[in-house]
Structure formats: structure tokens, C-alpha cells
Amino acid sequence: MQDETIENAIPAPLDPTSTCPLSRDELLQKVATCMKNTFGPQNVFRVGGDEFAALIYTQDAAEGAEQATQCIAEIEQEKLTNYPDIPISCAMGVA
């Protein structure tokens, strides 16, 4: 990537519902997979218990925001095996 710098990092904290504690690992795995699909596996990092960060190589914040929106849409399509009726969501920010 020519002349591009690491401009944006997206922290993505999760708030799994307390009604499905046994599905927490599955939830984290699904979110990580969606983030890797969007940002590339080499650009996604787990930074805390339920927090991830993604590095975006662009100088355009709008492009980073669009990638975050696409990732959130993919995450919201996921279902937990034992709790398919509980929606999955997360929040992302671009800095």
C-alpha cells in the first residue's frame, strides 16, 4: 500500500447479555471472525476481555467508517447456536 499510513484504529467493545454466559466464547469468536473478514486477519487484535481493535490502512476517515459499518452489519447477521433469537450487536468508532 503506497503512501498509506495507519490512521485509524477501531475499538470494538462487546456487551454480551447475561442470559447466555455459556455462549460468550462463541460470541467472541463470531465477532472476531467478522472483523477479520472485514479488516483482514493480520489487522485485528484482541486488546481486552471483550474488546478488539482493528487497524485500517487509509488516510480517509470516511472509508474507515464505511468499513466499520459493513463489519457491524455482518456481525448483526450472526446467530448464537444455543440462543438464535438473541441479537448480536457491537459498537465501533473510528479515530
CA-CA-CA-CA torsion for 83, 37, 75, 32, nearest 10 degrees? 60
Torsion of CA 50, 81, 67, 17, to 10 degrees: -40
Largest Cα separation within the chain, whole Å, is 47
pTM: 0.74
Give strand ranges (E) for 1-95.
Answer: 6-13, 44-46, 51-57
Per-residue pLDDT reduced to its tens digit, 18-71 = 555 557 888 899 999 999 999 999 999 999 888 999 999 888 889 999 999 999
Phi/psi at 41 (nearest 5 deg)?
A: -60, -30
Q: Band the pLDDT of 1: cuts 50, 70, 90.
A: very low
The string over 54-64, giving b where at least 16 C-beta atoms fall within 10 Å of a residue's C-beta and e elsewhere, is bebebeeeeeb
Write down how long the chain is: 95
